[in-house]
């Protein structure tokens, strides 16, 4: 946070330490009214992210230009051995430079993609600049004379025709997706009244806007916050927003309150930061000015970035690929151990080999986690209300060994493979998990912020010494602190580090029973 304004940094740091008001993690589950539930049900499915669509288009542009260049080479120059690898190399370099120049020309912005005919000059200039840069490099390196001028010129014409045709097709799809709600950023306004109305009018006035406002949540009564603002209904209170966000796939919360109302702003942010969404503070009516880098924009409407949804867009794709690859490797590598464990469990005690338990998953959704059964079947505790302790009589002989070595967790490779878990993340706790008859989320302020990402088979807290029985409130507080640290500092390298250290740290199993 060293690069942001001191005033904004103060806001971010103050959110967690703000003492007033209950957080959503300590708020009892609120039932939605019929209107809010109906609206939430319309947004159950994830939409296409504009960032992802633009990213895929970059890849398609590269593949298209590279394919056209190679096709012309083989049709005109032939398939002889001359410059066999040089043509593909130059074609790949030219295609990559073209994508970079198209990006500089804003050719991947949605307002440009929506009107491709008006912006064909951007394509011409970017593509010509790319091949001009390629020709200049070839001239300076004195190898341009080895390549066919006809191939180069034909590639320019055919390449331009290809990317222009692609954008004409995509513009039709983008308009259809926007109309059908397939591609959009879904936003909820927090705070009603005149400020919310001014914000909504400003957002709707922006051309080629990909924001879909789903509704308004406000704690104030109808006298101070009307039930309908700029045509959008007030769907409930801020506390009810948690239940709404569990049903609807929301991308962004926009807090529409003046910065001068510092106490109320911090109180709201204290409640909202546990949700896995972008949180923005509307800045279109205040008189304070931060550095430009502190803002994001919806069209020309400025927003202060308070919290970002963690592991989003391409990061989520990279993490999912990581999970699939290493889960498959884990299943193959540990299949003999899992087979031997299954046989041992069956011989040791009656009952099923696997134990299924409901746990908190991403965004507080309930997921079913697989484990090898380690307790006598008639004494299994799916709710985890009674924690397993040292020499617990409910644990079988085989169970003691597999719990101490964490072999009982190996079936969770299948959870990670199919997507309910990630390989690395905050460890999922049972829905009714308790510490001294107190539910975990009642112990830790902001506990549900752990669920802004998928839970993991292993995690930063586990390899840092916070594994095993949770017999004190301090232990669950420390686990949560490490989980939040992981979320804020996530990277693929961090995941790989945790994955590599997990078997090493498991050798120290004094806290596992």
Quick one: CA dihedral 365, 370, 371, 377, positive or negative?
positive
Q: Is 421 in contact with 319 (CB distance < 8 Å)?
A: no
Question: Do residues 302 and 239 both lie within one domain?
Answer: yes
- The percentage of the chain sitting over the pLDDT mark of 90, rounded to a whole number, equals 25
Asked if pLDDT for residue 166 goes beyond 60, the answer is: yes
pLDDT computed for residue 388 by the predictor: 67
In a domain, 498, yes or no: yes
Q: Residue 394, Cβ neighbours under 10 Å: how many?
A: 15
pLDDT-derived band at 393, boundaries 50, 70, 90: confident
- Say whether pLDDT at 471 is over 80: no
* 77-81, 151-155, 174-178, 280-284: least confidently modelled range: 77-81
- List residues bridging with 365 in a β-sheet: none
Domain end point (choices 180, 204, 230): 180
Are residues 239 and 169 part of one domain? no
Is residue 458 domain-shared with residue 414, that is, in the same domain?
yes
In which domain, by residue range, is 41 found? 6-47+184-307
What pLDDT, on the 0 to 100 scale, is given for residue 333?
93
Same domain, 212 and 298: yes
What's the pLDDT band for 492 if we cut at 50, 70, 90?
very high
The Cα 171–Cα 183 span in angstroms is 12
Q: Is the pLDDT of residue 346 over 60?
A: yes
Provide mean pLDDT across the span 197-222.
84
372 and 422, same domain (yes or no): yes
- CB-CB contact of 274 with 448 (8 Å): yes
In a domain? residue 256:
yes
Q: What's the CATH code of the domain at 194?
A: 3.40.50.20
Mean of pLDDT values over 275-296: 69
* pLDDT, average across residues 139-155: 79
Closest CA to 122 of 159, 160, 168, 69: 160
- Is pLDDT of 146 > 50? yes
Of 307, 330, 346, the one marking the end of a domain is 307
Q: Is the pLDDT of residue 113 over 90?
A: no
Residues of the chain with pLDDT > 70: what percent?
81
Q: Is 82's pLDDT higher than 60?
A: no
Is 336's pLDDT higher than 90?
A: yes
Please check whether residues 291 and 366 belong to one and the same domain: no
166 conformational bin, left if phi > 0, alpha if psi -120 to 50, beta if neither = alpha
Alpha-carbon distance values, 491 to 215, 281, 312, 456, 494 (Å)? 34, 26, 12, 14, 5
Could you tell me which of 415, 429, 340 has the C-alpha nearest to residue 384?
A: 429
Phi-psi category of residue 470: left, alpha or beta, with phi > 0 → left and psi -120 to 50 → alpha: beta
Task: Work out the pLDDT band at 11, boundaries 50, 70, 90.
Answer: low
Split into its structural domains, the chain has a count of 3
11 vs 75: which has the higher pLDDT: 75
The pair phi, psi for residue 280, each rounded to 5°, is -120, 145
DSSP state of 430: B
Are 57 and 40 in the same domain?
no
**Is residue 23, in this structure, part of any structural domain at all?**
yes
Query: Does residue 3 register a pLDDT over 50?
Result: no
Of the candidates 409, 511, 427, which has an alpha carbon nearest to the alpha carbon of residue 469?
511
Supply the mean pLDDT for the chain: 81
Domain annotation covers residue 117: yes
- Looking at the fold, whether 64 and 29 belong to one and the same domain comes out as no
Examine the domain organization and report whether 487 and 366 are in the same domain.
Answer: yes
Report the sign of the C-alpha dihedral through residues 21, 23, 26, 32, in that order: positive
Encode pLDDT of 22-78 as tens digits.
555 555 566 788 888 888 888 888 777 888 888 899 999 999 999 999 998 888 766
What is the C-alpha separation between 39 and 233, in angstroms, rounded? 10
Q: What pLDDT score does 96 carry?
A: 94
State mean pLDDT over 263-289. 76
| 65 and 132 co-located in one domain | yes
- At residue 4, the pLDDT reads 45
Last residue of a domain, one of 180, 210, 225: 180
pLDDT for the residue 304: 82
Give yes or no: residues 262 and 277 share one domain. Answer: yes
Q: Estimate the share of the chain in helix, then strand, then coil, as percent rounded to the nearest 5.
A: 55, 15, 35
> At residue 16, does pLDDT exceed 60?
no
Q: Is pLDDT of 474 > 50?
A: yes
Asked if residue 184 lies in contact with residue 212, where contact means CB atoms within 8 angstroms, the answer is yes
- Report the pLDDT value the prediction gives residue 140, as an integer from 0 to 100: 79
What's the mean pLDDT in 281-293? 60
The string of pLDDT tens digits covering residues 218-258 is 888 887 788 888 888 889 888 888 889 888 888 899 988 76
Q: Which residue has the higher pLDDT, 438 or 217?
A: 217
Q: Is residue 511 part of a domain?
A: no
Per-residue confidence band for 342, with pLDDT thresholds at 50, 70 and 90: very high
Residue 510 lies in a domain: no
pLDDT at position 1 is: 39
Q: Residue 291 and residue 3: Cα distance in Å, rounded?
A: 10
Answer whether residue 152 shows pLDDT above 70: yes
Residues 171 and 157 in one domain: yes
């Amino acid at each position: 946070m060293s690069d942001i304004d001191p005033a904004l940094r103060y806001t971010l740091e103050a959110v967690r330490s703000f003492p007033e008001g209950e957080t959503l993690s300590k708020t009892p589950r609120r039932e939605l009214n019929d209107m809010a539930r109906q609206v939430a049900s319309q947004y159950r499915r994830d939409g296409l992210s504009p960032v992802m669509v633009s990213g895929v288009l970059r890849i398609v542009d590269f593949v298209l230009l590279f394919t056209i260049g190679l096709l012309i080479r083989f049709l005109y120059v032939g398939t002889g051995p001359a410059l066999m690898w040089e043509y593909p190399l130059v074609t790949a370099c030219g295609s990559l430079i073209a994508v970079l120049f198209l990006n500089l020309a804003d050719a991947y912005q949605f307002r440009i993609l929506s009107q491709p005919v008006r912006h064909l000059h951007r394509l011409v200039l970017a593509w010509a600049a790319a091949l001009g840069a390629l020709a200049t490099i070839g001239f300076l390196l004195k190898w341009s004379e080895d390549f066919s001028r006809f191939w180069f010129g034909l590639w320019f014409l055919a390449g331009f025709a290809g990317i222009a045709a692609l954008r004409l097709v995509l513009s039709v799809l983008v308009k259809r997706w926007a109309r059908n709600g397939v591609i959009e950023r879904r936003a909820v306004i927090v705070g009603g009244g005149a400020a919310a109305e001014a914000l909504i009018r400003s957002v709707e006035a922006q051309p080629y806007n990909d924001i879909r406002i789903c509704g308004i949540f406000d704690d104030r009564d109808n006298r101070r916050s009307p039930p309908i603002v700029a045509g959008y209904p007030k769907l409930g209170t801020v506390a009810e927003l948690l239940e709404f966000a569990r049903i609807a796939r929301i991308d962004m919360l926009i807090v529409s309150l003046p910065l001068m109302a510092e106490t109320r702003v911090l109180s709201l942010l204290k409640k909202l930061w546990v949700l896995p969404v972008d949180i923005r503070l509307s800045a279109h009516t205040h008189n304070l000015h931060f550095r430009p880098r502190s803002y994001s924009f919806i069209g020309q409407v400025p927003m202060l970035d308070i919290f970002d949804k963690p592991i989003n867009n391409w990061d989520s794709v990279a993490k999912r690929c990581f999970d699939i690859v290493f889960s498959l490797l884990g299943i193959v590598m540990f299949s003999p151990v899992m087979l031997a464990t299954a046989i041992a469990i069956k011989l040791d005690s009656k009952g099923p080999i696997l134990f299924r338990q409901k746990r908190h998953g991403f965004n507080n959704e309930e997921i079913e986690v697989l484990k090898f059964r380690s307790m006598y079947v008639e004494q299994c505790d799916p709710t985890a209300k009674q924690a397993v302790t040292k020499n617990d009589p409910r644990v079988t002989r085989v169970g003691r060994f597999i719990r101490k070595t964490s072999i009982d967790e190996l079936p969770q490779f299948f959870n990670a493979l199919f997507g309910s878990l990630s390989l690395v993340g905050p460890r999922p706790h049972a829905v009714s998990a308790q510490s001294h008859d107190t539910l975990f989320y009642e112990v830790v302020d902001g506990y549900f912020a752990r669920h802004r990402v998928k839970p993991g088979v292993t995690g930063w807290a586990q390899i840092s010494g916070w594994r095993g029985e949770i017999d004190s409130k301090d232990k669950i507080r420390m686990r949560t602190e490490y989980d939040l640290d992981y979320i804020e500092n996530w990277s693929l390298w961090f995941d790989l580090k945790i994955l590599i250290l997990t078997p090493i740290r498991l050798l120290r199993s004094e806290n596992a029973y």
